[in-house]
Amino acid sequence: MRNTNRCLIFRLLPVLPTLSFWVPVNADSFLSNTLIRKNQVQSVLEHQPIDALECENTKPTGPIDITMCDYETVESVNRDLFSNIHDLVKMPFFKYFQVDLYRDCPFWDDYGSCNNPGCAITTVDESEVPMKWRASALSKVDALVEDRHELPGCYYRDSDFCWLDDNTEGDYYDLTLIPERFTGYSGPEAHRIWRTIYEENCFGLSEFSLMDGKTPGAVTLPDTMTDVLREDGADSDQCLEKRVYYKVISGLHASISTHICAEYLNQTTGEWGPNLHCFVNRIASHPERLQYIYFNTVLLLRAVARLGPYLSAYDYCSTGSRQDDAETKEKLLNVISIAQTAGKFDESVLFRGENANVLKEEFKVHFRNVTRIMDCVGCDKCRLWGKIQTTGIATALKVLFELDEKTLDPQRNANLLQRAEVVALINTLHRFSESLEAVNEFRQIWADLNSTESEQLILDAEKAAIPIPHSPYHDVQQPSGLFAVARSRVMSVIQACKMSAMECVTKLYSLLDRMSSILQPSRKDSGPGAYEEL
């Protein structure tokens, strides 16, 4: 077959799953559109990533859900992507980040703290930061932002999916000195963070449903457009937007877990290094979690691709070093080029129909709440990276679902994005690209094990996956009974009303929607189980 014909087939991949004869080449691959229910660990760790360029992948597993990109294309470009973006985030513009880490938690008072040395971080003196990036300069730019909803120290515009700092408070951090890795932050406080995040799901799919699945780690959410189309008009309470929201959140959780396992502290030797046991328990034994890392990578690449002209015209001048500025631009243009190749996310299939605006507003309110939940994290390092990555994903969502081509024109809107949004977006893409690289390192470690060692790892993972009778979060106090759950929901509405009228209305709409679904059959099997720790 000629190369042109092969490329044509790849362009048709998003349509093929809708045809009845679509059959994945390798149904045992964790990247197939069939959920792997046996030999999960082997399917992840014995997978051979594709290194060939796009249109040369002869055995595609099919497009990633809601995207027009296959897994192999992501694998084929990730090495080049990681090489460029890993250097890019070390450049002055992208390594300095200002944020207020000590804003009060808006959801509960006793959010605890982490006394482990691994949680601590150090700030950078403002004198080390180039003048144009200091709070005094950035706050003047922020003052030009109109129609914003404010709280002390932060705000959001109607188009934003997150709360943004107003640069009047906060400290500066050099991200190259604060790697995202194991901190020891776990237990009830860490569990409560993720439980609350999952409870902020679109249309109120609570974590109690997500974590009470019949099979730990088994996801019954549709994973391909075939399933989405089959459900069109079917008796289902799961909207497409809800599934996208879940994939975004779960992909973020999986990526963070991968970094924790990749840079794990051996508390016996005091040495840092990859922990295969950790990775097997948290990710490899739940292959769908790794799929969501691919999903988020494509979503972020699509946002960078759409922002290509805007990012290319952005002013990255830092210390006045022409070499730094030239290298920043060179690496960034390489990343944009890769994003234009693999960033094939089909945002047009979302937020359609007569209730699209209401649905989108609810989605935004929920994700804004996720960014506020980061203020409740008791570990400074975890809170920093949580804020960066939720802001990065929120920026990508805004670019995909709120901004048209005219708005993205740098000639019309030179100050469209905050500097913090640009820095967060690129650093978040770096986090996901590095996660995929780390998975390859774990595969090499697995390949070096003998059969006895690998079998023991699998047995340990199976034991860890045994369901706990009532909840994986048995040490966290949870609402008991319908009245307690209802009270929790009402308190959530009250909290939203304190923030803004729009969030109040959206929360009330969500609450009424939940109440209307009380008499609907339970769908406890529609979730992923629970991650062990933060």
Q: Which residues are catalytic?
A: 379, 382
User: How far is C-alpha 342 from the chain's CA centre?
Assistant: 17
Helices (H), 128-239: 135-142, 188-199, 207-210, 225-231
- C-alpha 510/C-alpha 514 separation (Å) is 6
Give every CB contact of residue 434 below 8 A, 6+ residues apart in sequence. 82, 86, 259
Q: What tokens appear for 268 in the block? A: 């016996």
Q: What tokens appear for 298 in the block? A: 């494509």
Collapsing DSSP to helix, strand or coil, 451 comes out as: helix
- Write 260-264 long-range contacts (CB < 8 A, 24+): 260/180, 260/181, 260/182, 260/183, 260/533, 260/534, 261/182, 261/438, 261/442, 262/181, 262/435, 262/438, 262/441, 262/442, 263/179, 263/180, 263/181, 263/182, 264/181, 264/182
DSSP state of 395: H
- C-alpha 417/C-alpha 256 separation (Å) is 25
Q: Which residue has the tokens 């009402």?
A: 490
Q: For residue 188, with 0-12 CB atoms within 10 Å meaning exposed, 13-18 middle and 19 or more buried, which class applies?
A: middle
**C-beta separation of 61 from 24 below 8 A:** yes
Give every CB contact of residue 5 below 8 A, 6+ residues apart in sequence. none
**C-beta separation of 240 from 78 below 8 A:** no
Give every CB contact of residue 247 below 8 A, 6+ residues apart in sequence. 65, 221, 292, 295, 296
User: How far is C-alpha 362 from the chain's CA centre?
Assistant: 18
Query: For residue 392, what is the enclosing H or E element?
Result: helix 380-401
The conformational region for residue 37 under phi > 0 = left, psi -120 to 50 = alpha, else beta, is alpha
On the CB side of 25, CA atoms within 13 Å amount to 11
Beta carbons within 10 angstroms of residue 2's beta carbon: 7
Residue 172, beta-bridge partner list: 98, 124
Beta carbons within 10 angstroms of residue 232's beta carbon: 8
